[in-house]
A and B are shown apart, each in its own frame.
Chain A
């Protein structure tokens, strides 16, 4: 048993659901007790999704415990098949079904006899993998399933596309800025003259998956999602993959050069050097920014970085290599893939921290007192407590991290966005600091002063206590309204009764 208040990566089934609900016309059925369908709330709220999340639960309740859930699960699968006609139904185990140890694979086989759609059991162990690992393996599982299905039917298309083409792998629902990254990557590929063969999982149809081998190479955008599928496709079809995340000016160039190398090996004969040069010097503002006086002022400032592998590694390199900022420590919560992270960042920071314990991170921040933090929402809150600005660079995230405006983290527009994020974090910190030195905003007094003077009206002790229970941000208003009410009726003492009478009278 472990005492825990906060976790960076969710449980395994969340990963599976993220993959299933990213595909078009795929329905996931969770084998779970009432209330475990919280995923739907997150998707509907955070992504402001207009459509119903294609996830339902086959509820595990007392009856199921007594009788077994075979009948119910099979019913729910065939019912969903008839109602929604999905291409694929993914039966998703949860921690509860892990312990029940029912033969879910058998239910899937039973149900398949009656359904038009394909049915599969997500093969994830709740107690061994987390959300991120489960997402990676579910994507692999679905890809493998449809490749093998096509192969069996002899429908696997032969040969490559005429022009160089790519599969973009790793864009998923509830991923950090994934939608914007996807747009930016498609734009980048268009600039490079590379056709986009399949983008998956987001927005892909499972029928497209058999076309995956037609691309010249696979592009795994994020370290966390897609490596298993890419390795599988490499093994089966000899497809090369590029796994350099184009985040930051230097890494974007490195990624493009790797792509160039990959497709030239297959006879494309392209040279992207001029494109890289032009973008770097004149289109993206990030290289110019790092030369400008603003960025000079950031030289040697202390920062710490924490997040998932992809974002924390990329941010560390950008801060240290491209902006001359002193990264005191960089850390990741992807413990299962810690070696990769160490190898990526060790030359760019003084210390590497691998942990999924948020208190350890909180303490490490307090210890080094950086001028800015780049982390998850949890680090943002640590920053608030310690008065240190924080730029959010990785999940777990809140609704404000799903912006409507165009904010990619990858590609050349991504470098601009990151420059803004970094610069704004540091200047805000500076501004705050200066204000403190010079005694604060002179408007402070005016803002907080009540409109009516603290005058003739006496508040009884009970009423005062009651008033203090009102949340701070409306307390002033409640106080003013109550006093106005009392004055109008010429009460000279405000009791609890008067307070609530006032509330009823003004209707607020």
Chain B
């Protein structure tokens, strides 16, 4: 291509006719993450059908989520919302006894203007279980943004004083203390001294527990203590957030949560690239260190060593191109990592671009492109899938990262695809998991390498051109 090279990232916005998951899908990973929660999605059969099919086998594992399926009487207000919700929530309390019920508002509750935020506090005091309201609907949000709405609502529930909570926790952990009786106060004190003296840091973003452990350990190596994590394993363990605490995001789609933490909880946001890929992980740690005035140690070697271990995979993708159709907001971070791996990225489709929250990541992407000597990608917000497919036909990228609706049809036309949703569910954060990202990215290339001599690239008959 002989297009003039732009020296800054270009941003475009298309029609928003694109495929993505409904944001209510966040219940699937959040109910697993927050072990004592129950998610009640207040919507219609359409929402239920989506969850049932998108979550596949998980639906059979007696999940801690359910639909409050609205019927005609609810829509026309013949039934009283408050009484109906009370009846269902009491049933949930009886059957599951959760520590929190999260109400997920949907398109329908928006349109009929059901006042969930108003009903929740009343019902909460009546039934004695916290009710958190998140309006994760398809009118306003895409896919992973669902988690953002839930965490933003949870942020309001984080305790604001250390002392009271600690006392309470100690009381609750009496048995554990009995078991640990050998461990004296001195041990705890020495543990504390491993850390540098810095203001409390709370990380936000839901990650699988092993990844939480890994990232916490990475920061521990730099002497940084993670005081808490939003969300924690249990609702009852939500971290303390006092005015002046520092917070850092681990995922690019958490802009509402970040805003809430800054504006409502008066925390200070550390704007960093996200810890995806060894480059991102290093930049993330470095930024946190720099805010606390700590000189990072050993990161050079650590990053180099990870890159070295990735070489066999990078060999497969170096010089190849990747096209992101866009559906989960991880696109910019993944693109930046893949550029560093030697790929070119003609287009990054993304549902929504918060240039402030992602500022550090965007700068890092730009810098990475310059350093690798590749053209800057065009970033297309609210993409139009039809137009994108025409561009894919023109550009013939080596890999398209896309939703399942387009993956099989593109494969049948000889275009390699990777299903984007897998990046949301796989473990991709930190140094340790960089290989897992490449495992996903290279899988179609490795598979198709195995098949390449069979002459089975194009498996649809030429379409008649009109």
Residues of chain A at the chain B interface (Cβ within 8 Å): 1-7, 10-11, 13-14, 32-38, 40-42, 44-45, 48-53, 56-62, 65, 76, 83, 85, 94-96, 99-100, 126-128, 130, 378, 381, 396, 398, 466, 469-470, 496-497, 500, 503-505, 507-508
Which of A3, A11, A381 is in CB contact (< 8 Å) with B49? A11
Interface bits B387-424 vs A (CB < 8 Å: 1, else 0): 00100000000000001111111001000000000000
Contact of A1 among B54, B74, B107, B389 (CB under 8 A): B74
Sorted from nearest, which 7 A-B pairs have the closest CB atoms? A35-B22, A33-B138, A40-B405, A50-B412, A1-B84, A11-B45, A95-B44
Residue from the set B112, B213, B310, B459 with the largest chain A CB neighbour count within 10 Å: B213
Number of interface residues of B (CB under 8 A): 77
Partner of B52, one of A6, A32, A36, A96: A6
**What residues on A are CB-neighbors of B52 within 8 Å?**
6-7, 396
Of chain B, the residue at the smallest CB distance from A38 is B50
Interface contact A38-B217, CB-CB below 8 Å: no
Given A34-B22, A128-B72, A500-B214, A51 and B409 touching (CB < 8 A)?
Answer: yes
Cβ–Cβ contact B17 & A59, under 8 A: yes
Within the assembled complex, what's the spacing in Å between the Cα atoms of A34 and B15? 12
A sample of 6 more A-B contacts (CB under 8 A), given A7-B48, A504-B305, is A33-B137, A41-B54, A44-B406, A99-B108, A381-B60, A469-B210
Q: Are A5 and B405 in contact (CB under 8 A)?
A: no
The complex places the Cα of A4 from the Cα of B48 at a distance, in Å, of 8
Are B309 and A504 in contact (CB-based, < 8 A)?
yes
Please give, as numbers and ranges, the residues of chain A lying within 8 Å of B46 by CB-CB distance: 11, 13, 36, 94-96, 126
A residues within 8 A CB of B406? 44, 52
* B316 lies within 8 A of chain A by Cβ: no
- Tell me the nearest residue of chain A to B95, going by C-beta: A3
A100 to chain B, nearest CB (A): 6
Q: Which listed residue, A32, A41, A58, A65, touches B403 by the CB 8 Å rule?
A: A41
Chain B 68-88 per-residue mask, 1 if CB under 8 angstroms from chain A, else 0: 111110110001000011011
Partner of B435, one of A32, A58, A507: A507
B16 CB within 8 Å of chain A: yes
- Whether A65 pairs with B408 at a CB distance below 8 angstroms is no
Q: A34-B22, A99-B112, A381-B60 are in contact. Are A60 and B66 (CB under 8 A)?
A: no
Q: Chain B contacts of A40 at CB under 8 A?
A: 19, 405
B-side contacts of A35, CB under 8 Å: 20-24, 50, 138, 142-143
Chain B residues near A507 (CB, 8 Å)? 309-310, 435
- List 10 A–B pairs whose Cβ atoms lie within 8 Å, in order of A's numbering: A1-B88, A2-B71, A35-B50, A41-B405, A48-B408, A50-B459, A56-B386, A59-B16, A76-B17, A504-B435
B16: chain A residues at CB < 8 Å are 34, 59, 61
In the bound complex, CA of A48 to CA of B411 (Å): 11
**A35–B16 alpha-carbon span in the complex (Å):** 11
Q: Let me know if B306 and A37 touch, CB within 8 A.
A: no
Asked whether A44 and B139 contact (CB < 8 A) given A33-B107, A36-B22, the answer is no
Whether, in the assembled complex, B209 has its beta carbon less than 8 Å from a beta carbon of chain A, the answer is yes
- One of B44, B60, B107, B405 near A11 (C-beta < 8 A): B44
Q: Which of B140, B310, B432 has a CB less than 8 Å from the CB of A500? A: B432
What A residues does B60 contact at CB under 8 A? Answer: 378, 381
Whose C-beta in chain A lies nearest to the C-beta of B216? A496
Contact of A62 among B66, B84, B108, B140 (CB under 8 A): B140
Residues from 109 to 157 in B contacting A, C-beta threshold 8 Å: 110-112, 137-143
- Cβ of A140 to closest chain B Cβ, rounded Å: 22
Is A34 in contact with B112, judged by CB distance below 8 angstroms? no
Contacts of A76 in B (CB 8 A): 17
Query: What chain A residues lie within 8 Å of B142 (beta carbons)?
Result: 34-35
* Contact, CB under 8 Å: A44 / B217: no
Asked if B53 lies at the interface with its beta carbon under 8 angstroms from chain A, I say: yes
Q: How far is the CB of B183 from chain A (nearest CB, A)?
A: 12
Chain A residues, Cβ within 8 Å of B84 = 1
In this assembly, does B91 line the interface, its C-beta being within 8 Å of a C-beta of chain A? yes
Q: How far is the CB of B392 from chain A (nearest CB, A)?
A: 12
| CB <8 Å contact, A44 and B405 | yes
Residues on B with beta carbons closer than 8 Å to the beta carbon of A33: 22, 107, 137-139
Q: How far is the CA of A466 from the CA of B432 in the complex (A)?
A: 15
Question: How many whole Å from A73's CB to the nearest CB in chain B?
Answer: 12
Residues of A within 8 A of B403 (CB): 41
Q: Is A38 a contact partner of B210 (Cβ separation < 8 A)?
A: no
Docked pose: A398 CA to B56 CA in angstroms: 8
Inter-subunit contact A62/B407 (CB<8 Å): no
Q: Does B162 contact A (CB under 8 A)?
A: no
Specify which of A34, A85, A126 is in contact with B20 (CB 8 Å cutoff): A34
Residue B466 interfacial (CB < 8 Å): yes
Q: Please tell me if the beta carbons of A95 and B108 are within 8 angstroms of each other in the complex.
A: yes
Tell me the dominant secondary structure on chain A's binding face.
Answer: mixed
> How far apart sit A381 and B50, CA to CA, in the bound complex (Å)?
19
Chain B residues with Cβ below 8 Å from A62 are 139-140
Name B405's contact: one of A2, A13, A53 (CB within 8 Å).
A53
- What's the Cα separation between A375 and B352 when bound, in Å? 43
Whether B63 sits at the interface, judged by CB under 8 Å, is yes
**Is B49 a contact of A7 with CB atoms below 8 Å?**
yes
The answer, yes or no, to whether B431 is at the interface (CB within 8 Å) is yes
A496 / chain B contacts, CB cutoff of 8 Å: 213, 217
- Indicate if the CB atoms of B69 and A51 lie closer than 8 Å: no
- Given known contacts A11-B45, A14-B49, A42-B53, A50 and B19 CB-to-CB distance under 8 angstroms: no
CB of A505 within 8 A of CB of B309, answer: yes
Contacts of A466 in B (CB 8 A): 210, 213
Instruction: Determine which of A50, A61, A505 lies in contact with B460 in the assembled complex, contact meaning CB atoms within 8 Å.
Output: A50
> At the interface, yes or no: B360 with Cβ under 8 Å from chain A?
no
Let me know if B111 and A99 touch, CB within 8 A: yes
Q: In the complex, which of the residues A10, A42, A48, A378 contacts B45, with contact meaning CB atoms closer than 8 Å?
A: A10
> Which of A1, A32, A48 contacts B70, CB < 8 Å?
A1
- Is B67 on the interface with A (CB-CB < 8 A)? yes
Least CB distance from A369 to B in Å reads 20
B59 on the A face (CB < 8 A): yes
In the bound complex, do residue A44 and residue B409 qualify as a contact, i.e. CB atoms below 8 Å apart?
yes
How far apart sit A6 and B217, CA to CA, in the bound complex (Å)? 40
* A128→B75 CA distance, assembly (Å): 13
User: Which residue from chain B places its CB closest to the CB of A37 in the assembled complex?
Assistant: B19
**B408 lies within 8 A of A4 (CB):** no
Q: Which residues of A contact B66 (CB under 8 A)?
A: 3-5
Residue of A whose beta carbon sits closest to that of B408: A44
Flag if A60 contacts B45 (CB, 8 Å).
Answer: no
Closest to B141 in A: A34
A91 to B215, CA, bound (A): 49
Closest-CB distance, B180 to chain A (whole angstroms): 11
A507 and B312 alpha carbons, distance in the complex (Å) = 11
Q: Do B139 and A4 touch across chains, with their CB atoms under 8 A apart?
A: no
Contact at A44–B407, with CB atoms within 8 Å?
yes
CB of B405 within 8 A of CB of A61, answer: no
Asked if A99 and B217 sit within 8 Å, CB to CB, the answer is no
Query: How far, in whole Å, are A92 and B114 apart by their CA atoms in the complex?
Result: 25
Could you tell me if A127 and B138 are in contact, using CB atoms closer than 8 angstroms?
A: no
Given the known interface contacts A507-B309, A507-B435, the answer about A2 and B22 at a Cβ–Cβ threshold of 8 Å is no
| Chain A min CB distance to B259 (Å) | 18
- B71: contacting residue among A1, A49, A99, A130, CB under 8 A: A1
Query: Across the interface, do A4 and B108 meet the contact criterion of CB distance under 8 Å?
Result: no
Residues of A within 8 A of B45 (CB): 7, 10-11, 95, 126, 130
The 8 Å CB contact of A41, one of B63, B92, B404, is B404
Contact partners of A53 in chain B: CB under 8 A: 405, 409
User: How far does the Cβ of B55 sit from chain A's closest Cβ, in whole Å?
Assistant: 11
A497, B217: Cβ atoms under 8 Å?
yes
CB distance from A145 to the nearest CB of B (A): 24
Known: A35-B142, A52-B409, A60-B107. Is A500-B49 also a contact (CB below 8 A)? no
**Residues 290-320 of chain B, each 1 if its beta carbon lies under 8 Å from chain A, else 0:** 0000000000000001100110000000000
The complex places the Cα of A95 from the Cα of B142 at a distance, in Å, of 19
- Determine the distance from Cα of A99 to Cα of B466 in the docked complex, in whole angstroms: 39
B108-A5 in contact (CB<8A): no
Report A-chain residues with C-beta under 8 Å of the C-beta of B19. 37, 40-41
